[in-house]
Amino acid sequence: MARLKNMTISCSWPSIIARQASEAPPRGDIDHTKTKVKHPQTNGICERFHKTVLQEFCQVTFRKNLYKTIEQLQADLDRWLLHYNTERTHQGKMCCGRTPLETMIEGKEIWKEKFVDQI
């Protein structure tokens, strides 16, 4: 059975990588890829997502709410991420008016059709 690998992409700055490595639990099933130095286009999707989180979640929620615990903030962020991935349509190159979940499901089906011979 074929399995898609888990993957994380991070900036190439040594201080950030060192901090991430020390904070993250070791996982043998995740490939870690670093972005190219001075090539922001390799990390463009992540940067755009950060901007969307800032504009659509952080700036809105911090105007409306005063959080007493990090758990309250995390619960609101989790609800927003569920909305972002399952209800909010995206207009980017890959989604074309679909939600990220719809795009992922369709992509998995296309992948299965193309690579069924190799499984």
Coil/strand/helix, residue 26: coil
pLDDT of residue 17: 47
Q: State the pLDDT at residue 26.
A: 57
Q: Collapsing DSSP states into helix, strand and coil, what is residue 59?
A: helix
Q: Which residues of the chain have pLDDT under 70?
A: 1-32, 116-119
Cα–Cα dist 22/91, whole Å: 36
Q: What is the pLDDT of residue 28?
A: 62
Q: Is residue 29 part of a domain?
A: yes
Consecutive H or E run containing 12: none
Q: Which contacts of 45-49 are long-range, i.e. CB under 8 A and separated by 24 or more positions?
A: 46/9, 48/92
Read off the pLDDT of residues 21-31 as tens digits, 9 standing for 90 and up: 555 555 566 66
Residue 25 lies in a domain: yes
- The tally of domains found in the chain comes to 1
Rg (CA), the chain: 18
**Which pLDDT belongs to residue 76?**
96
Provide the residue range defining the domain that includes 31.
7-36
Residue 99 lies in a domain: no
User: Would you state the pLDDT for residue 115?
Assistant: 76
- Is 11 within 8 Å of 50 (Cβ atoms)? no
